Amino acid sequence: MSSLSSGLWTGRVRRVNGPVVDVVGLEGVAMFDVVAIGASGLAGEIVGINEDVATAQVYEYDGGVAPGDPVESRGEALSITLGPGLLGGVFDGVLRPLEPDTVWLTPGRNGDSAAGMTWRFSPSATIGAQLTSGALLGRVTEGEHFEHRILVPPDVAGILEWLAPAGDATSSQAIARIGGVDVALSHRWPVRRPRPARSRDGEVRLLRTGQRVLDLLYPIIRGSSASVPGGFGTGKTLLQQQIAKWCDAEVIIYVGCGERGNEMIDVLEDLARLRDPRTGGALRERTVCIANTSNMPVMAREASIYTGVSVAEYFRDMGYDVVVIADSTSRWAEALREFASRTNQLPAEEGYPATLGSALAAFYERAGSFTTLGGSHGSVTVIGAVSPPGGDLTEPVTAQTRRFVRCVWSLDRDLAYARHYPAVSWNESFSRDAERVGVIRAQNGDTGWAERRSFALALLAESERLESLVELVGAAALPDRQRITLRSAKLLREAVLQQDATSSEDAYCGEEKQAALLEMVLAIHQRLLKLVDAGVAADRLEQLGLARVSSARESGGPEDVAAVTAVRDAVLALLGSIT
């Protein structure tokens, strides 16, 4: 965007309708070309061409733009600058830097984040070598720890004619010449075009979120995709923030679309404060935030998710595992709807354009685990929140999204009201990755993972069925075994599935502790069943205080298996003494 002022073509504004501007006189302009509108050069994108009138959607507040204002195009699709300087930064939907404290953008301000900054480049390729796209040219260290690999950009290949020696370079300065083409630390990329990779590699590797309900019941693998649908205030943002903070990906791209600006600032502050358990650096050093909060122009939201996934692919190409989080895709879809209505498109369901499904697919289908052009392995995992109005899971954005994702982590209003957090529903959620995760877990030595998962899901389903009976006949009318089922399901919910994001002991849970907690509930359940089978009254067992089982998750640190084992052994000993 930085050189929009050097336009190839100049036209004039003919009509302004909110964020949609009709332009005349841009003869050579093509669909999706970027334009600069008015004296301050507001960024827009051509989304329709009808004979001599081109229609642009404007990515910023366009109050003051009037018919007759100049419009320039340089014949480039909406593109971003990818290079060092993105990590730890906050950007708008078209990757222009924002002030982190206010998440605010000066209208018309262009340019890439790293302009003016210098980086210490360490070369690692041989002059004279034949290089393909994706080959390693050298490295730059970002923050204290992050190895930013500088690769031959897509679309460039040939003999390495010149490579800069070790030393400082700015982002746009040439550091290599390949087949006659100068290559800098950064390069431009059109956001709507998936970055090329050699192939999808079909690798199955776990993505550990540290959230028990996800890792134990609805797990996800690297390169997969998930949707988090949930009504107002059910905990979508908090769950996604937990994943951003604790999952074991190497890079996080956090896209806030139309959400509250102060939430975005909270995330940034948290990430700056929290330490990365693997590197010891601040978590923020491996995070890129793209913010289109509710106080920003609606149309930039439309681009933001493609921008986010392009940045993710850029790090994937270096061989990293990246997670893209989008909160919320419903606010993003509102931008599509607004645009459809302003351009008089024939609306499909509920005013959304007929292209809603393909626009969602263009986002989620960029997830995957890949062999990169350079021959390493990297992945992009995409997780998008959906906020269905009134919690209606059949509305178009929620329903369409389900078609494209492998996991649905559906948040339940009743669970949230009951302060059961995270409110992930066991009726509406699913993971198409679960079976493959079971195989991987078994290969890694945890042969009981799939069985424990089945046990937990069966216990939840059975207790749900019994609870509707209890409403009719009362708990006392149930047979003793069924009363134990209800008791154990309650333990399962309280001791394992609930997880307090605000507790330093519980916000994150290591996988061995996860397994130990679930295994404890399973062992207690079996012991309780044995006791009723031996004639002990369920009444008596229900009166046993098992509060320490429910609080085991918060005793000791996130990895403290011994604390859980101690509780388990003590409770089993207590049950063993009952005759």
Ligand X SMILES: Nc1ncnc2c1ncn2[C@@H]1O[C@H](COP(=O)(O)OP(=O)(O)OP(=O)(O)O)[C@@H](O)[C@H]1O
Which residues are near ligand X by CB under 6 A? 230, 232-238, 387, 421-422, 499-502
- Contact of residue 238 among ligand X, Mg ion, none (CB under 5-8 Å per partner type): ligand X
Cβ closest to ligand X, residue 33 vs residue 263: 263
DSSP, residue by residue, 25-47 = --TT--TTEEEEETTTTEEEEEE
CB of 236 to ligand X, least distance (A): 4
502 binds, among Mg ion, ligand X, none (CB under 5 to 8 A by kind): ligand X
Residue 310: is the preceding peptide bond cis (ω within 30°)?
A: no
Residue burial 318-336, b: 16+ Cβ < 10 Å; e: rest: bbbbbbbbbbbbbbbbbbb
Site for Mg ion in 235-274 (CB under 5 A): 236-237
Q: Which helix (H) or strand (E) element contains residue 269? A: helix 261-273
Q: Nearest distance from residue 495's CB to ligand X, in Å?
A: 15
- Shortest reach from residue 333's CB to ligand X, in Å: 15
Rg for the chain, CA atoms, rounded: 27
Q: Give the residue with the Cβ less far from ligand X, 421 or 455.
A: 421
Q: What whole-number distance in Å separates Cα of residue 535 and Cα of residue 125?
A: 76
Q: Shortest approach of ligand X to residue 263 CB, angstroms? A: 7
Write the burial class of residue 116 (CB in 10 Å: 0-12 exposed, 13-18 middle, 19+ buried): exposed
**Comparison of 41 and 258: residue with beta carbon closer to ligand X:** 258
499's contact among Mg ion, ligand X, none, with CB below 5 to 8 A by partner kind, is ligand X
SS (H, E, C) 72-141: EEEEEECEEEECCCCCCCEECCCCCECECCCCECCCCCCCCCCCCCEEEEEECCCCCCEECCCCEEEEEE
Give residues with Cβ within 8 angstroms of 361, minimum separation 6: 403, 404
- Name which of ligand X, Mg ion, none residue 400 binds, using a CB cut-off of 5 to 8 Å depending on partner kind: none
- Binding partner of residue 230 among ligand X, Mg ion, none, CB under 5 to 8 Å per kind? ligand X
| C-beta closer to Mg ion: residue 237 or 431 | 237
Q: In terms of DSSP H, where are the helices of 128-260?
A: 212, 236-246
Q: 3-state class of 260 per DSSP?
A: coil
The token pair at 469 is 């009976």
Per CB under 5 A, contacts with Mg ion among 211-240 are 236-237
Q: Which is nearer to ligand X, 81 or 234 (CB)?
A: 234
Residue 273 beta carbon to Mg ion: minimum distance, rounded to whole angstroms: 20
Tell me whether residue 21 or residue 416 sits nearer to Mg ion (CB atom): 416
- Comparing CB distances to Mg ion, the nearer of 236 and 337 is 236
Residues binding Mg ion: number (CB under 5 A):
2
Query: What is residue 498's three-state secondary structure?
Result: coil
Whole-number minimum distance, CB 312 to ligand X, in Å? 22
440 touches, from ligand X, Mg ion, none (C-beta below 5 to 8 Å by class): none
Q: How far is the CB of 167 from ligand X (least distance, A)?
A: 46
What does the binding site for Mg ion look like in residue numbers (CB under 5 A)? 236-237
